[in-house]
């Protein structure tokens, strides 16, 4: 078995590089004792990875190129390199950007988004642990355990959060968010991310140059010059046809993202993290769907509709 790209990225983020990185990978791979089951190998690798992360230094001695499943090359750094030491793991994780990346990820179900937010909150920057049980996730998200399992499988299939079976404490599943991918989604660098649709206005001079060359009267046979035709003002009745119309799925994703941002800001006013978690868990899938529908119909109205079916403690914070 080869090391996954996620494990290599975590070692690199911890400051390992060059010979230190290769040695750490070899020590983790040494957990593949003959005769062990795949589950036991994954658990042993997880413990070995945790030991390497705790014992790692922040002084890289080389530069690596990471492929999808293995390390392809290690290049020594020059003696007079101005390379800055890699920061610790906890300083490379931006949970706020990761949450926004979850909101921007296209095609995720509301349940998967809620579970992803909880997994990001549970991730321990110091130890790298993230192994909440399905029951705890179900209680925090207001979902059934069956819905949580479906959401976890969906996140694992998209690659946003990797599930490692029996990799946590007491043989529980462990989860490893792909921080780089989530931040890239937040910044709109990945294809398919939900970004606002924009259109540059076309100037009259540019519109005059964009002429159809299929009409023979536009062509001057002596010079090949295409005579521009007079720009026509668009018909006001057809003005809506000139605007970009996003697809229904993209519009709904954007509406859900606006609703989440507004709801998150609203519930943060509760103060304590326990009150925030309880308030978020009180919102059901039907509440989110109803709020998203309202936000889709009229921007800014989703929050009021979402909180309409909740108790006074949540609605009174506005």
Taking only the tens place, the pLDDT of each residue in 266-275 is 877 877 667 7
Angstrom distance (rounded) from CA 236 to CA 252: 28
**229 within 8 A of 207, measured Cβ to Cβ:** no
**48 within 8 A of 33, measured Cβ to Cβ:** no
The pLDDT value recorded for residue 80 is: 44
Angstrom distance (rounded) from CA 185 to CA 97: 9
Angstrom distance (rounded) from CA 229 to CA 207: 9
The torsion angles phi and psi of 64, rounded to 5 degrees, stand at -120, 160
The pLDDT value recorded for residue 170 is: 58
The pLDDT value recorded for residue 255 is: 83
Per-residue pLDDT reduced to its tens digit, 197-209: 333 444 444 444 4
- In angstroms, what is the C-alpha Rg of the chain? 26
pTM of the prediction?
A: 0.37
Q: Which of 96-100, 247-251, 306-310 has the lowest mean pLDDT?
A: 247-251
Per-residue pLDDT reduced to its tens digit, 87-127: 444 456 788 889 898 998 888 899 999 999 999 998 988 88
The pLDDT value recorded for residue 94 is: 83
The pLDDT value recorded for residue 258 is: 87
**What average pLDDT does the chain have?**
68
The pLDDT value recorded for residue 68 is: 33
User: Residue range 50-68: average pLDDT?
Assistant: 46
Whether 195 has a pLDDT exceeding 50, the answer reads no
The pLDDT value recorded for residue 114 is: 94
- One DSSP character per residue, 142-203 reads T--HHHHHHHHHHHHHHTSEEEETT-SGGG--EEEE-HHHHHHHHHT-STT-------PPPP
Q: Please state, as a whole number, how many other Cβ atoms lie within 10 Å of the Cβ of residue 288.
A: 22
CA-to-CA separations, 163 to 67, 115, 116, 152, 309, in angstroms, rounded: 20, 13, 12, 7, 34
Whether 184 has a pLDDT exceeding 60, the answer reads yes
Angstrom distance (rounded) from CA 283 to CA 314: 10
**250 within 8 A of 257, measured Cβ to Cβ:** no
Provide the token pair at 259: 């609703």
Provide the token pair at 120: 């990001």
93-187, CATH topology level? Arc Repressor Mutant, subunit A (1.10.10)
Per-residue pLDDT reduced to its tens digit, 198-244: 334 444 444 444 444 444 444 444 444 445 555 555 555 554 444 44
- pLDDT category at 69 given cuts 50, 70, 90 is very low
Domain residue spans in the chain? 5-88, 93-187, 198-231, 250-315
Angstrom distance (rounded) from CA 238 to CA 246: 17
CA-to-CA separations, 298 to 27, 246, 259, 290, in angstroms, rounded: 56, 15, 11, 13
């Amino acid at each position: 078995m080869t090391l996954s790209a996620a494990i290599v990225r975590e070692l690199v983020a911890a400051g390992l590089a060059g010979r230190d990185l290769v040695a750490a990978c070899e020590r983790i791979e040494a957990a593949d004792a003959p005769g062990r089951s795949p589950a036991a190998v994954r658990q042993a690798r997880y413990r070995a990875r945790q030991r390497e992360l705790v014992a790692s230094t922040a002084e890289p001695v080389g530069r690596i190129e990471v492929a999808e499943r293995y390390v392809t090359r290690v290049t020594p750094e020059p003696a007079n390199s101005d390379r800055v030491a890699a920061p610790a793991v906890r300083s490379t994780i931006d949970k706020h950007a990761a949450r926004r990346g979850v909101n921007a990820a296209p095609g995720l179900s509301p349940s998967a988004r809620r579970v992803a937010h909880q997994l990001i909150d549970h991730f321990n920057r110091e130890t790298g642990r993230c192994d909440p049980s399905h029951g705890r996730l179900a209680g925090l998200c207001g979902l059934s355990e069956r819905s949580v399992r479906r959401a976890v499988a969906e996140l694992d299939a998209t690659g946003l959060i990797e599930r490692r079976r029996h990799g946590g404490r007491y043989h529980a599943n462990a989860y490893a968010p792909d921080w780089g991918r989530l931040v890239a989604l937040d910044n709109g660098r990945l294809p398919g991310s939900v970004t606002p649709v924009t259109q540059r206005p076309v100037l009259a001079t540019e519109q005059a140059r964009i002429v159809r060359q299929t009409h023979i009267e536009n062509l001057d046979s002596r010079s090949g010059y295409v005579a521009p035709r007079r720009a026509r003002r668009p018909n006001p009745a057809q003005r809506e046809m000139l605007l970009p119309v996003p697809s229904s799925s993209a519009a709904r994703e954007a509406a859900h993202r606006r609703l989440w941002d507004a709801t998150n800001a609203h519930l943060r006013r509760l103060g304590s993290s326990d009150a925030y978690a309880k308030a978020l868990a009180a919102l059901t899938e039907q509440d989110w769907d109803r709020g998203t529908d309202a936000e889709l119909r009229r921007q800014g109205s989703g929050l009021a509709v979402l909180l309409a079916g909740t108790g006074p403690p949540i609605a009174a914070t506005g």
